Structure 1
Amino acid sequence: MGLIARFESVMAGQRGALFGWVPVCLAIGVGLYFALPVEPSILALCTAAAALIGAGVVAPRIGEGARPLFIAGVLILAGGVIAAGRAHHVAGPVLEFRYYGAIEGRVVAVDRSQSDALRLTLDRVRLDRVTPDRTPARVRISLHGDRSQDARAEPGSAIMITGHLSPPSGPVEPGGFDFQRHAWFARLGAVGYARSPLMAAGGSVDGMRVGRVRAAASQRITTALPGDIGGFASAITTGDRSAISQDALEDLRASNLAHLLAISGLHMGLMSGVVFAALRLLLAAIPRVALRWPTRAIAAGGALIVAAGYLALSGGNVATQRAFIMVAVALCALMIGRRAISLRAVAIAAVIVLILRPETLFSPGFQMSFAATTALVAVFGLIRDRGWRLGPAWIQPAVAVFISSAVAGLATAPVAAAHFNAIAQYGLIANLASVPLMGVLVMPAALLAAVLSPLGLEWIGLEIMGLGLRWILFVAGLVADLPDGRRFVPSPDPLVLPLFALGSLLLMLWVGRMRWAGGVVVAASFVLWAQTDRPDLLIDAEGKLVGLMTPEGRALSRDRAGGFVARNWLENDGERIAQDVAAARWQAPPGVAHLTGKRAAAAFVGCRAGELVISNTVLEAQDLPCHAHDPKRLRTTGAVAYRLGPDKKWILHATARGAAGERLWTRWEGQRKTQRLTFTALRERFLGAGAPTGQIALRNNTGEP
């Protein structure tokens, strides 16, 4: 049998299972777009879009054997085009300088920062002496100091405050989390803090009615259930986490129960499942209705309506939108008489999410939710197809819960460890003791509270809900206090997660013996992770902090400055220690000098080739023979990583600029302005600069012509 014939035979064996690879190909295209070192030109994007149109014409003429490969290529290209289109669609002004002054805007979100400070996200922003075309669409402000005299900040209220703003910062190390990219897609053009009192500016603004309903609901919940219990209840009903303490959050993270805080597939599925079951039982209790009406479709429709209401009440963040899409696909399948839970349904949900928000491909929520869902559907599908029994009928629910927790935990543990640098060693025990309670007590009680709320009797449901949440927080605290409850791991090589995902998908989606090759790929990803080598020396983007790898772990040059950077470096190394502990290890190695303050910089007399000099103030000397990094130079490179060569000389390993590239969302000194793609911009490109009104000039991403 020839190679082509053998390939066609293999593809024929995959018939009926290839749809699961559609989101995989789209995700590859999205990933390739974000991996590009420079932003594709408008001409390149137009050419790619035209190629997609041409592919649609050519596809029917491709032979049946080669068609899957052709379609895979088209989908990869489509993923890149979709991601590029989304990046240009959300484009907006980004603050280009540090700002201090009056800030006005409308509150659209309230949450808490890592330091437990109340944090506001504002739109309709007005800044003193900043023109509207240079004013960010959204800004985020952390409120520090005594807030007792503040006006009440709730979604929809117009506020005024005096504060500091700055552009979103780049990665804290080369290849690290890119906050600039995250802020770009969140339409955050500036972030900052304020210590002055918060004042109302004209009362409520039009819109945000749902936001005010959320705020009122959150207030009633926390009044009925004070403390962390109320904060937990508010988080899983309205999405407001501002009332839960950092200690409780840390316990939930340490016990692998933090996923219960996010309104994700678990909560959306439980809520819609409770509603579906209740409506189905109610309709079945009426013989006339049960015999004549499609009760399953009606119940699914009712559950879909409730799920949509839950989406609106919870604030509709990205994780909740993703959960709603997955639940909506399952409920729609029920309404048309198809299997609600299948790999095809999961693939449809993934395709919708990637088309609407391709940037979520890199978020832990997307990766963990689809990893868990795909693994659960594949495992329970295998159990169903093989006819395996889960024991006697009376124990089957408990066995199903155990299998669900184990499978979901195994599928998501590598993803969680890669993003959060920690493995909860007793997470399975904590989940087995907590997750069932969410389904049988907490979510039904939340639904009961919502039903009784118009009568003023929501406290009944909330009290029942509080019993379950109190138990979950107790379990979280108990597990978090166990010795060696968490094992910390270093950040993996960028190829590890893609390899792990590819291997896992081969195991679950491929039909035939070749699927076992997926196990080899998964094993290869863990081998690569084990060989990941952290940089020998790290320099932060302002020259304030230096981190040297020693046999005992990372040593930091300062015990206070750059606390956020220090915490991230240590976590990425797989350590969870205080900055002052790491600073106690510091002994400047030969050939490395860290100058802090103007006096140290002024006293600097020079250096020799091969040496490293880092300063947190600008060095007057230029064209130095050594590797010199001061704020002026670091603005062009971002954070820097070095390796120690075999000859004991420092070798530049990577810069944040080199790792992140020059994209729409990056802000490097000397970066060429990337043009923003709009319909009107394209029109002017071809019609010329004298286009009539409505054909706006092509602008760069700062809003300047």
Structure 2
Amino acid sequence: MTRLHPLRRAAGGLPDLVEAQRGRLVLWLPVCFGGGVGLFFALPHDPARATLALLAVALAAALLLLRRMPPRLAPLLVGTLAFGLGCLAAGLRTHAVAAPVLGFRYHGPVEGRVVAIDRSASDALRLTLDRVRLRDVAPDRTPLRVRVSLHGAQGFVTPEPGARLGLTAHLSPPPGPAEPGGFDFRRSAWFDRLGAVGYTRVPVLRLGETDRGAALWIHRQRQALSAALQTRLPGQTGAFAAAILTGDRSGIGEETAESLRAANLSHLLAISGLHMGLLTGAVFFALRLALALVPGAALKWPLKKLAAAGAMAAGLFYLALSGWNVATERAFVMVCVMLGAILIDRQAISLRAVALAALLILAFRPEVLPEPGFQMSFAATTALVAVFTLLRRGSPMARWPKPLRGVAAVVLSSAVAGLATAPVAAAHFNRIADFGLIANLAAVPVMGALIMPAAVVALVLAPFGLSGAALWAMGLGIRWVLFVAATVSGWEGAVSRVPAPPPETLPLLALGGLFVLLWRGRVRLLGLAPVVAGVLAWSLAERPALLVSGDGGLVGRMGAEGRALSKATGSGFAAEVWLENDGDLPDQAMAAARPMPPLDIGGLRIAHVTGRGWQARAAAACAAQDLVIVNRLWEGPPPPGGCLLADLGFLRASGALAVGETRGGVRLRTAQAAAGTRLWTAPALRGPGAPSAAAAQAALPQGASGLLFDPAAGARLAGH
């Protein structure tokens, strides 16, 4: 009992510790709410609807209990309520967007209406269709939306939104992760209500009249503006202008995109908080100046509030112009919160405004929490506001000359934003732009002082045919940004590759960083502990010794020179993801030229069989090996020998495989087991080549731990 005394004393002092944070506890609401959202997405199984209903009842009861709670304990209950509400909001949103997902591979006629146009990773034109019709597929099993890449010669340059099209396409369910625990596109597709993806190699036909709905009319205006910009500003200058004003990146070449990424300037292409803030800020100051020039206006009208309202309207127009994408919606919410603070005579830029924006976004779109755009946006904004709030209270910069203060503010803001977003960018994209600070210092001021103000002037003068000078100025600034990107990305050592972190790393870094920024007093230094733990977990993380693609055609074995791949072409997406997650150059041909080590791992004997005569060779391998991987469908009785045969049927149900050594032996993980049984992973692939439900249940691991092989016991692979 004596040993528990310090713990009891600490628990008794917790309310006093929280009480000392009065006035700042509201900043923790989105943190607690986001924690609940994160817990929901980390669950291995979807909670049943009855469980969500019980959670709602429990939260309602806790809300009633809050009225009788002692004031010193109330913040703890409020934080718990916010955590539960985050979990509940994510669950309700997941069920609310439920839509059919194609459960088999389909080849045949597809009809649909164009609602979005972009480009794929292979630079092919890509269409998103709604009002979909598939041959011999019942309406209740037909996806609400499908996305099709157009290959081969087409009869048009760019189809317009609203056009009703007919095509012959190959469709399949949204693909799973390229490796166990990797990015799962199926989750993103679920919340976009995208039920199938595919491609066509034949010309697309127009069917009937183009839909003239209001939303699609806006899409057509976006396309028209994009085409006009690329005509007036030819080359990559016009493509950059179209990207920052309309969200259309189809004109950005791969070389330009790569140089922007290597210089850490690719965020300038995304219509996000920077663009929305610059545009609305330019409108705000322009309107305020224009109104101040009206005689007597300053005495009669609230000029600051009128300018804020006008800037908010400009932000809404920009949101519509950019296609209502999620990143721009997030930026618009943040801007509205800050401009709304001006309307109600509150401080516009504060941590409370950032907290309210985060809470609103997570409440309506909880699925954005795992996305890099959300994480980087709020990491940068929170760090910037916190640092500049501290500087306002007693900064020596206040005594510096005004020009020097401006330069120092630019340097400091770029450094703080870069430091705050660097771990997120490294975790999601496996790269660090070593000279990103230099590139941002050279490019971002031009973006704010020249490009975005010129864009506003060009948009205002365009209806009168007077936008030429503004477009010239905007093009001048864009050419400077592209020059900076090309120069910095060409420096030796411009990019450092880093391996993918374990899943707990980013939550630990975020929790520790937020504690340091938001907590008062010396106790905030305790936030360094989870930061150190996250960095340590990242540095000690080991990549799988062997990776197998979901189609069985590619294996990658880790060796002394890095991961060696079994072939130089084919399964290119999986190869690129594996190498990037290793912290290696994403060059499949280079990795295929490396010496291939033996596939055996820790006493587990492994064979990979492809090509002609595969069936006889697989049968022979099964007698001598523990795990045999083939990229074909095994038909007939199982091969003799008792090995685990990972054929195409097995892999279509399991997804990609990862094999690595553990303290207990050798562990084999599957992508499906790591992803869990969620609504977006539930539709198993049916049709030729897929195992029966009973076979899949017997063969696949039932938990993320996967299958375990214990060489000391001489056992074959067994469920664990």
For the aligned pair, the TM-score class normalised by the smaller chain equals over 0.9
Q: How does 1:156-235 map to 2 (within 5 A)?
A: 156-207=162-213, 208-235=216-243
Q: Using the alignment, how far apart are the partners of 2:693 and 2:503 within structure 1?
A: 25
Q: How does 1:185-334 map to 2 (within 5 A)?
A: 185-207=191-213, 208-334=216-342
Structure 2 SS opposite 1:389? helix
Find the counterpart in structure 1 of residue 707 from structure 2. Answer: none
Q: How far has the Cα of 1:379 moved from its partner?
A: 0.3
Q: How far has the Cα of 1:151 moved from its partner?
A: 6.2
Residue in structure 2 matching 1:568, options 561, 566, 577:
577
Is the contact between residue 657 and residue 668 of structure 1 (CA under 8 Å) also seen in structure 2? no
Q: Using the alignment, how far apart are the partners of 2:675 and 2:589 within structure 1?
A: 30
Q: Using the alignment, how far apart are the partners of 1:275 and 1:537 within structure 2?
A: 55
Residue in structure 2 matching 1:595, options 609, 620, 640:
609
Aligned length: 669
Greater CA drift, 124-133 or 310-319: 124-133
Q: How far has the Cα of 1:426 moved from its partner?
A: 0.4
Find the counterpart in structure 2 of residue 352 from structure 1. Answer: 360
Structure 2 SS opposite 1:434? helix
Find the counterpart in structure 1 of residue 645 from structure 2. Answer: 628
Q: How far has the Cα of 1:609 moved from its partner?
A: 6.9
Look up the equivalent residue of 2:530 and give its one-letter code.
V
Q: How far has the Cα of 1:195 moved from its partner?
A: 1.3
Q: TM-score, normalised by structure 2?
A: 0.90
Q: Using the alignment, how far apart are the partners of 2:280 and 2:481 within structure 1?
A: 22
Greater CA drift, 483-492 or 202-211: 202-211
Is the contact between residue 107 and residue 159 of structure 1 (CA under 8 Å) also seen in structure 2? yes
Is the contact between residue 151 and residue 199 of structure 1 (CA under 8 Å) also seen in structure 2? no
Q: How far has the Cα of 1:4 moved from its partner?
A: 5.6
Q: Using the alignment, how far apart are the partners of 1:637 and 1:5 within structure 2?
A: 49
Find the counterpart in structure 1 of residue 65 from structure 2. Answer: 58
Is the contact between residue 229 and residue 469 of structure 1 (CA under 8 Å) also seen in structure 2? yes
Find the counterpart in structure 1 of residue 715 from structure 2. Answer: none
Find the counterpart in structure 2 of residue 439 from structure 1. Answer: 448
Find the counterpart in structure 1 of residue 18 from structure 2. Answer: 11
Is the contact between residue 173 and residue 641 of structure 1 (CA under 8 Å) also seen in structure 2? yes
Is the contact between residue 449 and residue 458 of structure 1 (CA under 8 Å) also seen in structure 2? yes
User: Is 2:684 aligned against 1:668?
Assistant: yes
Find the counterpart in structure 2 of residue 702 from structure 1. Answer: none
Residue in structure 1 matching 2:379, options 354, 371, 389:
371
Q: Using the alignment, how far apart are the partners of 1:277 and 1:376 within structure 2?
A: 21
Find the counterpart in structure 2 of residue 335 from structure 1. Answer: 343
Q: How far has the Cα of 1:394 moved from its partner?
A: 2.0
Q: Using the alignment, how far apart are the partners of 1:5 and 1:628 within structure 2?
A: 58
- What are the Cα deviations for residues 348-387 of structure 1, in whole angstroms up to 9, with x where unaligned? 0000000111010000000000000000000000100124
Look up the equivalent residue of 1:218 and give its one-letter code.
S
Find the counterpart in structure 1 of residue 97 from structure 2. Answer: 90
User: Is 2:438 aligned against 1:429?
Assistant: yes
Q: How far has the Cα of 1:2 moved from its partner?
A: 5.1
Q: How far has the Cα of 1:395 moved from its partner?
A: 1.2
Find the counterpart in structure 2 of residue 699 from structure 1. Answer: none
- What are the Cα deviations for residues 99-120 of structure 1, in whole angstroms up to 9, with x where unaligned? 1122221111111111111111
Look up the equivalent residue of 1:180 and give its one-letter code.
R
Question: Closer, same or farther in 2 for the Cα pair 1:151/1:618, shift >3 Å?
Answer: same
Is the contact between residue 114 and residue 129 of structure 2 (CA under 8 Å) also seen in structure 1? yes
- What are the Cα deviations for residues 491-519 of structure 1, in whole angstroms up to 9, with x where unaligned? 00100000000000001111111111112
Question: Closer, same or farther in 2 for the Cα pair 1:384/1:189, shift >3 Å?
Answer: same
Look up the equivalent residue of 2:116 and give its one-letter code.
A
Q: Using the alignment, how far apart are the partners of 2:340 and 2:88 within structure 1?
A: 29
Q: How far has the Cα of 1:645 moved from its partner?
A: 6.0
Q: Using the alignment, how far apart are the partners of 1:609 and 1:68 within structure 2?
A: 63
Q: Using the alignment, how far apart are the partners of 1:587 and 1:654 within structure 2?
A: 20
Question: Closer, same or farther in 2 for the Cα pair 1:13/1:644, shift >3 Å?
Answer: closer
Q: Using the alignment, how far apart are the partners of 2:9 and 2:663 within structure 1?
A: 51
Is the contact between residue 150 and residue 199 of structure 1 (CA under 8 Å) also seen in structure 2? no
Taking only the aligned residue pairs, the percentage that are identical comes to 52
- Could you tell me which runs of 5 or more consecutive residues in structure 1 were left unpaired when the two chains were aligned: 673-705
Q: How far has the Cα of 1:587 moved from its partner?
A: 4.3
User: Is 2:466 aligned against 1:457?
Assistant: yes
Q: Using the alignment, how far apart are the partners of 2:41 and 2:157 within structure 1?
A: 41
Look up the equivalent residue of 2:204 and give its one-letter code.
L
Q: TM-score, normalised by structure 1?
A: 0.92
- Could you tell me which runs of 5 or more consecutive residues in structure 2 were left unpaired when the two chains were aligned: 1-7, 686-691, 695-720
Is the contact between residue 39 and residue 663 of structure 1 (CA under 8 Å) also seen in structure 2? yes
Q: How far has the Cα of 1:597 moved from its partner?
A: 3.3
Q: How far has the Cα of 1:226 moved from its partner?
A: 1.5
Q: How does 1:24-103 map to 2 (within 5 A)?
A: 24-103=31-110
Find the counterpart in structure 2 of residue 499 from structure 1. Answer: 508
- What are the Cα deviations for residues 397-435 of structure 1, in whole angstroms up to 9, with x where unaligned? 111010010000000001000000000000000000000
Look up the equivalent residue of 1:313 and give its one-letter code.
L
Which 4+ residue blocks in structure 1 deviate beyond 4 angstroms?
1-5, 669-672
Q: How does 1:622-701 map to 2 (within 5 A)?
A: 622=638, 624-644=641-661, 651-666=666-681, 667-668=683-684
Look up the equivalent residue of 1:530 and give its one-letter code.
S
Look up the equivalent residue of 2:95 and give its one-letter code.
H
Structure 1 SS opposite 2:152? coil
User: Is 2:383 aligned against 1:383?
Assistant: no
**RCO comparison, higher one (Cα < 8 Å, 6+):** 1
Find the counterpart in structure 1 of residue 710 from structure 2. Answer: none
- What are the Cα deviations for residues 51-72 of structure 1, in whole angstroms up to 9, with x where unaligned? 1221221111111222112111
Is the contact between residue 126 and residue 148 of structure 2 (CA under 8 Å) also seen in structure 1? yes
Residue in structure 2 matching 1:614, options 622, 629, 636:
629
Q: Using the alignment, how far apart are the partners of 1:659 and 1:451 within structure 2?
A: 52
Residue in structure 2 matching 1:114, options 114, 121, 129:
121
Structure 2 SS opposite 1:204? coil
Q: How far has the Cα of 1:243 moved from its partner?
A: 1.1
Q: Using the alignment, how far apart are the partners of 1:38 and 1:521 within structure 2?
A: 27
Greater CA drift, 604-613 or 509-518: 604-613
Q: How far has the Cα of 1:625 moved from its partner?
A: 2.5
Look up the equivalent residue of 1:639 and give its one-letter code.
A
Q: Using the alignment, how far apart are the partners of 1:471 and 1:533 within structure 2?
A: 41
Q: How far has the Cα of 1:287 moved from its partner?
A: 3.5
Is the contact between residue 546 and residue 660 of structure 2 (CA under 8 Å) also seen in structure 1? yes
- What are the Cα deviations for residues 423-456 of structure 1, in whole angstroms up to 9, with x where unaligned? 0000000000000001110001111111111112
Q: How far has the Cα of 1:145 moved from its partner?
A: 1.8
